Amino acid sequence: MVSTFPHIPTPTNPPSIHPADTKFVAETDPGYQRVLGLAIKIKRNKDNVKFKARTPRFLVTLVVKDTEKAEKIIKLLPPTLKPTYIKSA
């Protein structure tokens, strides 16, 4: 079934969110726990910190170059979600 109106979703073109369109808004959105989903891995490099959040549908990666901002994000994680720290090679 093809819709003649592209803005109206049909079974063949349902609305979807691409991982590139997903924004990590931990500081501003109190409902960010839904974005984080199932698990999170944190990798600290010498010039950035990477957060890899596994949601039921996507793997969302956030790269933060400011270490102070990364610490704020780590403190904002819900207590039920225990992060896994990955050592940089």
Please report the pLDDT score of residue 57 as a whole number. Answer: 82
pLDDT digits (tens, 9 = 90+) for 41-66: 999 999 999 999 888 888 889 999 99
Spell out the domains of the chain, with CATH numbers in brackets. Answer: 24-86 (3.30.720.90)
- CA 72 from chain centre, in angstroms, equals 15
Give the containing element (helix H, strand E) for 84: strand 84-86
Strand order in the sheet with 39-44: 59-64, 49-54, 39-44, 84-86
Position with higher pLDDT, 80 vs 3 = 80
